[in-house]
Homo-oligomer: A and B are copies of this chain.
Amino acid sequence: MFHHVKELQFNARVSRPDPKFARLLLQQFGGPNGELKAAMQYFIQAFPCKKAYPDKYDMLMDIATEEFSHLEIVGATIQMLLTGVNGKLKAEAESSELMQVMDGNGKREDFIHDAFVHPHFYIEGGGGPMLTDSMGNPWSGNFINANGDLTVDLRSNMGAESRAKIVYEYLMQFTDDPLVKESLSFLMTREIAHFQMFEAALESIQPNFPPGILQGDPRFSNKYFNMSDGVSDARGPWNEGVSTQLGEEYCYVQKPAEYVRETQGLTGEEVQGTARTIETNQEKSAALAAIRGAEINDSNPMKDMQWNAYDA
């Protein structure tokens, strides 16, 4: 179960209202690489490893819960940046109804103008945050990656933390409020911390490549197809020398269309540039399937299941 304490994890402060920056900051509230995405992603990934991998479950729940706490920091900052909007909508409602003429000092004209910064804040959210990104797109379950395999999920998370980090880096360039920058810097740094935690967890699982159980076909794992030709067909460690994980020698296919025709659609390819064979591959897959299958099945009984015990 969750518990909430009213203190924020980080002392979020704001120097002055800034609805424009509030709009930008929505990107990390309801955007695809924002805090809710991170929180929900780790939370959902945690379910299938509750029994079989309780240490990873603990880590995922620690970080998920921290991300919920960051979501709160972002929301609190947006709310402080919007200070004045909610109150004004109440206080000026009446003047609206009276349809009075402009009062000379232009304040009302300014308020009307402000609404175009981000209409959602003014006419739908009423001066509070909404669960959208900076363009008003609603948060989507599509943002979540959770595939029931830690060697996949942890890599998804390293990608996700990288993206969250760069969005904070970009955001920091669009405010000059030092108090807001403090919070952004804290939040950005935590993405760096989390990245390394997920990486360490991944390394603690061996083997972890390729992700999942099945080994790749050695005829196709070290081919590079030169599908885009023209002035610069670059060569680099991604298509020459040996591959990073499997240590196979790259085979560079210069003219893929011709090659495909000649090989009848790559049928009849021989294994080359690698010591792996189809047979060793199958053995490795079978062995790994046995191990991982047992880890999971043995820790998940098939009847009278209870999520947890209670230790009063």
17 contacting pairs across A/B (C-beta < 8 A): A1-B69, A1-B72, A11-B266, A58-B234, A83-B301, A91-B296, A96-B214, A115-B174, A126-B148, A126-B149, A137-B137, A155-B158, A159-B160, A169-B212, A188-B216, A189-B220, A189-B221
A142–B267 Cα distance when bound, in Å, is 36
CB–CB B228/A172 < 8 A: no
Which of A92, A217, A304 has its CB near the most chain B CB atoms (within 10 A)? A217
Query: A166 to chain B: which residues have CB within 8 Å?
Result: 126, 147-149, 152, 211-212
CB–CB A214/B32 < 8 A: no
Nearest Cβ on chain B to A39's Cβ, whole angstroms? 9
- Evaluate whether A228 and B97 lie within 8 angstroms (CB atoms) in the complex, with A138-B140, A197-B238, A260-B310 already known: no
- Evaluate whether A289 and B91 lie within 8 angstroms (CB atoms) in the complex, with A140-B138, A189-B217 already known: yes
A175–B115 Cα distance when bound, in Å, is 11
Query: A266 to chain B: which residues have CB within 8 Å?
Result: 9-11, 186
- Evaluate whether A137 and B140 lie within 8 angstroms (CB atoms) in the complex, with A4-B65, A174-B112, A266-B186 already known: no
A292–B127 Cα distance when bound, in Å, is 14
* Interface flag for A107 (CB, 8 Å): no
Give how many copies assemble into the complex: 6
CB–CB B227/A54 < 8 A: no
A36 nearest in chain B by CB position: B40
Residue of B66, B84, B174 near A122 (CB, 8 A) is B174
The interface on chain A, measured as residues whose beta carbon lies within 8 A of the other chain's beta carbons, has a size of 215
CB–CB A282/B98 < 8 A: yes
CB–CB A282/B94 < 8 A: yes
Residue of B87, B156, B193 near A293 (CB, 8 A) is B87
- Evaluate whether A192 and B173 lie within 8 angstroms (CB atoms) in the complex, with A3-B3, A9-B265, A65-B227 already known: no
* Interface flag for A135 (CB, 8 Å): yes
CB–CB B116/A135 < 8 A: no
* Interface flag for A246 (CB, 8 Å): yes
A237–B202 Cα distance when bound, in Å, is 10
Nearest Cβ on chain B to A291's Cβ, whole angstroms? 9
Apart from A47-B129, A93-B172, what 17 extra A-B contacts exist at CB < 8 Å? A1-B260, A2-B65, A8-B308, A13-B304, A14-B304, A31-B124, A48-B126, A92-B173, A93-B289, A94-B285, A96-B172, A115-B174, A147-B166, A193-B221, A197-B238, A198-B238, A199-B244
A76–B263 Cα distance when bound, in Å, is 19
Nearest Cβ on chain B to A156's Cβ, whole angstroms? 4
A126–B293 Cα distance when bound, in Å, is 13
CB–CB A300/B84 < 8 A: yes
Residue of B9, B93, B140, B306 near A212 (CB, 8 A) is B93
